[in-house]
Structure 1
Amino acid sequence: MSTTNYIGTATSRVDGPAKVTGTATYAAEYHLPNMAYAYVVSSPIAKGKITKIHADEVLALPGVIQVFSHENVPSVAWLDKKHKDLVAPGGSPFRALQDPEIQFSQQPVALVVADSFELARYAASVLRIEYDEEKHETNLETQRAKGYEPGSGKTGFQPPPPPRGNPDKAWGAAEHRMEAEYVHGTQHHNPMELFSTTVEWRGEGQITAYDKTQGVFNVKNYLVGVFGLKKDDVRVVNEYMGGGFGAGLRPQYSVYLAVLASLELRRSVRLTLTRQQMFSFGHRPHVLQTVKLATNPDGTLAALQHHALHETSHFEDYTENVVNWSGMLYQCENVKLGYQIAKLDVFTPLDMRAPGAASGSIALEVAMDEMAYAAGLDPLEFRLRNYADRDQNVDKPFSSKKLRECYHQAAAKFGWDQRSQEPRSMRDGKMLVGWGMAGGVWDATQQKSAAKASITADGKLTVLSGAGENGAGTYTIMTQIAAETLGLPLEAVSFKLGDTDQPEAPLQGGSWTAASVGTAIQSVCQDLAGKILKLAQKQDDSPLKDAKFEDVEFLNGQIRLRADHNQSVVIRDVLQASGEAKVEADGSTMPNMLKQKQYSLHAHNAVFVEVKVDEDLGTVHVTRVVNAIAAGRIINLKTARSQVLGSVVWGIGAALMEETVMDHKFGRYMNHNFAEYHVPVNADIHDIDVIFVDEEDDVVNPLGAKGIGEVGMLGVAAAVANAIHHATGKRVRDLPITIDKLL
């Protein structure tokens, strides 16, 4: 409708100035009158029972208002099925302070509320609690025989497809075979912003919760259900978020406890978790995977088997789509995929950037590298020989797939044709040089989403949708979509999000925000454009009087005929002449399921990595990365590239550093801090090239956009591992690849 070229340009963040000047307000920065401060007391044991809480000693301190525990809080969430949040897995969700049972280390066992943060923290530190400790189990290795297949119907879980062909027979008869186990440990999200909730008490049962979350409507529905509140009495706000990565998909116990305290004390309350407590609710699970591959004499896959086992808690069956990707990424007629979970005395794992795929792709893509060597083929050539033009899991064509172009463009940029196949054959002085590659696939999803748009007589457009913004660029791309649709300059558009008083939008997760909220905004702005055109046609001697909507375009603040650009009107003049103070439109959009169900909808990528390894010290330097992404229409080249850069950094961290280490004697994570939970820093990151492969797709959504935040991470860790093998000749299948594993 508009030829204003905002979509697809490298536009700077519209929310950037607010963030760098400190005017952006985060959950812990709302200052309210008569506010109390809450501090969580965490369990030092992993399993057992509370036998006594010496709350009277702490309550005697001047300024301490209350100590909440299972002994004095009201019973809530009596019907789990009714009071779950939107992303709860099967089982019975954990409810803090509801009973004396201890189910995991660092479980919240008490909440101290005081007149100041410092006093609340001190009082929590001296609160004496006695426990009856029981034997716990936190080691997945010991639970291999106790793994079980989760039932279908769990939130977001797609059971692996049934086997096809005869994978066991084909594997046994093949010319080249490989079988190996791949392991990566527990990882935690560790966003910079701590989880925090500031609850504004507005009167009897009426609250506003300023909460760190990736879904304000999810939190609202949760609070309404758990506490039995009226929907109109609960408002949840999150306008800015300092990173989430999946940790904010579920309402965490911080919002539950803060609201509980506010309702009981009838005053405003703030609760902020510590960095250590951020390790107490959800994580990427520890996963054990076995992959078996076999090839025919021509290098095509004869058989593929992939099995995964990962941890869950005793109270919920957390599931991820770990192995399914292996059945669709490569062409193979004999495939068997298996998936199991095992219960440990830990908190339920939680979606973490590219959940399932990030784990599964490591095993598959390292195994593909091993198989390529066994078959005597270049790793890229091996993948191209086994390229899948159809999703064999569901026997459907892809709506679009430019993975082959990703391979070729990234390989050309990287200089892959200069690679020698033999491990330890490339050097730079005393450093061993290795080149590795891998690929990835991620869902392209659209969710139901609503938006509202209004334009005033001065030509200023305001667009609302209760979406989330955890750093991906949502503020900016929605502003671009609205500006282009109505032909207005960016500075004339204001996009607002993160408030349950706004039209309902989905959680910000799964890389679906651009496709979902963007489509709703495009649609509602088109409706608004139609209303403005009708106002223009009511004017005397209007050059657009007989024009149909498809006959006009909105450009540079004007409406003009496509066939004759001289026949135009100024939007602002139309609004002022109409006498209307404001023109509004609202509505919602849903995916076209009739069209989409005929296809498999996915984004793809290919990653090429160079590492340099010090042979004496075992240190690894990732010196070059080229990541090519096929993700449909790119809305903003600048924020999209930033997303992929972050994804690559995550992949490097997963390959070389990230691991939460459990001390099984105590059932507690030992490195639950920024000092010892290692993530890449500036000195670890060198050249990263991002390529966006042109890809048109009119099936995924009207914008043609696919998500990029998750797919950009896939393949990176495996490519690093494959490059290390090429450099050193050592095949490390246990991530992260630390120095001790190379010496």
Structure 2
Amino acid sequence: MSTTPLSSSGQASARVGIGTALPRVDGVAKVTGTARYAADYMADDGAHPTTRNATHPTANIAAHDLVYGFIVNSAIATGRIVSIDASAALATPGVLLVLTHENRPDLAPLDRAWKDKVAPGGMPFRPLYDDRVWYSGQPVALVIATSLELARHAASLLRIRYEPTPHQTALGEVLHTAYPPSTEKGGFDPPPPPRGKAYAALAKAHARVDAFYSTPVEFHQPMEMHGCTVVPASDGTYTVYEKTQGVMNTQQYLTRVFGFAPGQVRVVSQFVGGAFGSGLRPQYHLPLAMMAARELKRPVRVTLTRQQMFTFGHRPATVQHVALGARRDGRLAAIIHEAVSETSQFEDYADVTVNWAGQIYDAPNVQLGHKVAKLDVYTPCDMRAPGAAQGVFPLECAMDELAVTLGMDPLELRILNYAQRDANKDLPFSSNALLECYAQGAERFGWGARSAEPRSMREGRELVGWGMATGAWDAMQTEASARAVLDASGRLRVSSATADIGTGTYTAMTQIAADVLDIPLDDITFVLGDSSLPMAPLEGGSWTVSSVGSAVHAACVQLRSRLAEILQTHGGVAFANLDTETLAATMKIRDGRVRLQRMEEDSEHNSDEDTAASIALADLLHSARLRELDEQVTVSPDARQKQFSMGTFSAVFAEVRVDEALGEIRVSRVVSAVGAGRIVNPKTAANQVAGGVVWGIGMALHEHAQFDHSLGRVMNHNLAEYHMPVNRDVGEIDVLFVDEHDDVVNPLGAKGVGEIGVVGVAAAIANAVYHATGRRVRDLPITPDKVLESPR
């Protein structure tokens, strides 16, 4: 297979680094179809495209050896499997294997072997472990055949008898059983202790809002469905092409579960067609595919159908109580935010849902609480802005309700209660540009022209509403490694075992490298998505630029310093008289040569060939007895970060138009003003925020998993009935980034924008719907029937 070009054309001569709006360097590969995803690899593809000269362990396996798996899912919500008759399937020509709990291979017996890096507390799910059925849609068999169509047909021939038991899938029925969740899951911070006496302050407040809100289950539906291709080699090693947000997490999981030796499994994930949290944990298709590949000693591909995408982790349903009390002047006296979210019977999943209330606003009396309740469903999982997307919705709606009660402008109320420091942690912010987000977002939107009275703005048969909300997300950094290799031709190869789930990682890392070394983008290749590369964390939480980007920056700085030393020692008289700091600061690499930037002034009169202050990299490295320069570094968070609270903030303004007779809602425009530190690529960053806005529109108006609780089953498990925004549902989206300097968050000063785009959008839309109609909807999604109901 030919090498996939991951460079941006037309940028060969100009210096293009951090802060430049560039198209994606991987864009050509994606639009021309040369980008390979997990289910695109054939067994004889040869060298992996991101390791251009590496010998691929599967190169000698013929494509016709590839076989296909189809997963059979349970037809009941809870109970046990009485029997599985696979005789008809196995008698079908071309069917090679039917795996069930009765004939699966022996695997790791202890729970800890099945826990991946972000597993919550409890017992991890093990597919085909025994005859117990935990939830509707649980995998109960895997059929392997010579074609996908044959495997799917053979799966329909299985005869499975069940013994069902009573089940519960309605969160509202089990609220009384809720309990504080385990804190084992990384990233879950339990609510801080109460500050003051919130309920007493609420009772004495001049103005109060006290209400319940709910958000439904939302399912992951990225463009690329989950799947993998597992390829065994004759030496007992395996290459796994997997849709994942962390190749190292996946590799570690497979090694522990199957008892492989270190290095026996290599995980590759060069391109991911959207993941948004669904790829943080290994999904059940992965161990099933590995079981089959190890049993048959043949390459196996297992992919999920769109319907099966509804049978694993999801955004949990929540029921939330928010109460706000304010003084006569609008200053908050009390904040109460309590939530109950769902989890499975076997694991203890929880999002950070309520903590935001104590961070965004300044109030002397705050009480926050979060509990979970067990249902007969699969364990929920992280979904874009986990916790914040659900938790900020009721908080920001309640702030809007409080503004109405006080007769204040909703924006003025938020500005009045702006928090100068994070009271949850009792720490100052490393930076917080929220006030600028309010000001610039309001100006761009035209908020000053808003008529305060509900139902007072109209165009034709449509009521017009304007609403706004605050958004917040954490700014995080974690340990990461990167390697930078400069060859004799002047080409730079930078690598890290991170991912690009559509966020623009390829582009951002290429720009960071170009910025440090002053090398044209066309001469830089960034390599990711391979567990054999330098260590990187999962791509999630908006920390990839902060973490991996800092490692790339450090590796390139180190390489630049070393090149300066070699240039001074082996570059000749023109460089020997300059100190290494000057050389490092002024040199540039073009067309395989190192030269000083000060030469640009004489470029019309001097060529590289006739000047002493220019040298071919090949000659320089030869003089230093080197073939290439190779630097690898590991970067960890600075200890100084512990002295601050680090966050990303936004102000979201939304305009809706509501058909008064039909209740149909259109989001005609959204302005999102974001303070996210230094923006590496304004184009891809704005693209991420705009995508988050679309998610927020879906959360507010469309997405809703419909359960038949008598069956314990999701009934709208398809894209015809599980509604998500399409082009016609999305109006104008205007994204602006507020200038924000932060030298604490990481060496780059970048905070990440993957999550912040969705936070607050649903609330801004809900508040706009109220402004348009006078109807307050507290239960998402906001559908026409709710808008046409009597005012609440």
Category of TM-score, reference length = shorter chain: over 0.9
Q: Using the alignment, how far apart are the partners of 2:459 and 2:615 within structure 1?
A: 63
| Alpha-carbon contact 1:312-1:318 (below 8 Å) kept | yes
The corresponding residue for 1:215 is 246
Moved more, 508-517 or 197-206: 197-206
The corresponding residue for 1:607 is 652
Q: Using the alignment, how far apart are the partners of 2:287 and 2:600 within structure 1?
A: 60
Question: By how many angstroms is 1:276 displaced?
Answer: 0.7
The corresponding residue for 2:18 is 7
Q: Using the alignment, how far apart are the partners of 1:104 and 1:704 within structure 2?
A: 45
Give TM-score, length-normalised by structure 1. 0.98
| Alpha-carbon contact 1:536-1:569 (below 8 Å) kept | no
Is 1:691–2:736 an aligned residue pair? yes
SS at match of 2:643: coil
Partner amino acid for 1:560? L
The corresponding residue for 1:505 is 536
Is 1:580–2:613 an aligned residue pair? no
Q: Using the alignment, how far apart are the partners of 1:219 and 1:629 within structure 2?
A: 33
| Alpha-carbon contact 1:307-1:323 (below 8 Å) kept | yes
The corresponding residue for 2:332 is 301
The corresponding residue for 1:59 is 90
| Alpha-carbon contact 2:403-2:409 (below 8 Å) kept | yes
The corresponding residue for 1:483 is 514
SS at match of 1:691: strand
Question: By how many angstroms is 1:162 displaced?
Answer: 0.2
Is 1:629–2:629 an aligned residue pair? no
| Alpha-carbon contact 1:302-1:334 (below 8 Å) kept | yes
The corresponding residue for 2:573 is 541
Q: Using the alignment, how far apart are the partners of 1:53 and 1:145 within structure 2?
A: 38
Mapping of residues 295-694 of structure 1, within 5 Å: 295-538=326-569, 539-549=571-581, 552-553=584-585, 554-555=587-588, 557=590, 558=594, 560=596, 568-570=613-615, 572=617, 574-575=620-621, 578=624, 580-592=626-638, 594-694=639-739
| Alpha-carbon contact 1:532-1:574 (below 8 Å) kept | no
Question: By how many angstroms is 1:298 displaced?
Answer: 1.1
Is 1:39–2:39 an aligned residue pair? no
Give TM-score, length-normalised by structure 2. 0.92
Q: Over residues 277-322 of structure 1, what are the superposed CA-to-partner deviations in whole Å (9 max), with x where a residue is unaligned? A: 1111100000000000010111100100000001000000001100
SS at match of 2:694: helix
| Alpha-carbon contact 2:561-2:580 (below 8 Å) kept | no
Mapping of residues 44-123 of structure 1, within 5 Å: 44-123=75-154
Percent identical among aligned pairs is 52
Runs of 4+ in structure 1 deviating by more than 6 angstroms, as ranges, are 561-567
Q: Using the alignment, how far apart are the partners of 2:79 and 2:109 within structure 1?
A: 23
Question: By how many angstroms is 1:453 displaced?
Answer: 1.1
The corresponding residue for 2:56 is none
Question: By how many angstroms is 1:153 displaced?
Answer: 3.5
| Structure 2 segments unaligned to the other structure (5+ residues) | 1-13, 44-61, 603-611
Partner amino acid for 2:708? D
Q: Using the alignment, how far apart are the partners of 1:646 and 1:622 within structure 2?
A: 14
Partner amino acid for 1:407? Y
Aligned residue among 758, 761, 777 for 1:713 = 758
The corresponding residue for 1:253 is 284
The corresponding residue for 1:138 is 169
| Alpha-carbon contact 1:644-1:712 (below 8 Å) kept | yes
Alpha-carbon spacing, 1:305–1:217, altered in 2? closer, same or farther (3 Å): same
Moved more, 536-545 or 123-132: 536-545
Q: Over residues 654-675 of structure 1, what are the superposed CA-to-partner deviations in whole Å (9 max), with x where a residue is unaligned? A: 0000111111011111111111
Q: Using the alignment, how far apart are the partners of 2:503 and 2:748 within structure 1?
A: 18
Q: Over residues 53-78 of structure 1, what are the superposed CA-to-partner deviations in whole Å (9 max), with x where a residue is unaligned? A: 00122111111111100000123231
| Alpha-carbon contact 1:623-1:686 (below 8 Å) kept | yes
Question: By how many angstroms is 1:118 displaced?
Answer: 1.2
Q: Using the alignment, how far apart are the partners of 1:388 and 1:221 within structure 2?
A: 42
Question: By how many angstroms is 1:579 displaced?
Answer: 5.1
Q: Over residues 409-440 of structure 1, what are the superposed CA-to-partner deviations in whole Å (9 max), with x where a residue is unaligned? A: 00001110101111011111221010000011
| Alpha-carbon contact 2:121-2:183 (below 8 Å) kept | no
The corresponding residue for 2:218 is 187
Q: Over residues 324-343 of structure 1, what are the superposed CA-to-partner deviations in whole Å (9 max), with x where a residue is unaligned? A: 01101000010000100000
| Alpha-carbon contact 1:661-1:670 (below 8 Å) kept | yes
Question: By how many angstroms is 1:151 displaced?
Answer: 3.1
Question: By how many angstroms is 1:265 displaced?
Answer: 1.3
Counting matched residue pairs gives 740
Q: Using the alignment, how far apart are the partners of 1:545 and 1:565 within structure 2?
A: 20
Alpha-carbon spacing, 1:564–1:198, altered in 2? closer, same or farther (3 Å): closer
Partner amino acid for 1:583? L
SS at match of 2:270: coil
Partner amino acid for 1:590? S
Q: Over residues 13-68 of structure 1, what are the superposed CA-to-partner deviations in whole Å (9 max), with x where a residue is unaligned? A: 11000000000011101112211111100001010100010012211111111110
Q: Using the alignment, how far apart are the partners of 2:205 and 2:342 within structure 1?
A: 33
Aligned residue among 149, 167, 180 for 2:180 = 149
Partner amino acid for 1:7? I
| Alpha-carbon contact 1:536-1:542 (below 8 Å) kept | no
Q: Using the alignment, how far apart are the partners of 2:555 and 2:524 within structure 1?
A: 14
| Alpha-carbon contact 1:656-1:736 (below 8 Å) kept | yes
| Alpha-carbon contact 1:90-1:155 (below 8 Å) kept | no
The corresponding residue for 1:738 is 783
Question: By how many angstroms is 1:184 displaced?
Answer: 1.0
Question: By how many angstroms is 1:152 displaced?
Answer: 2.9
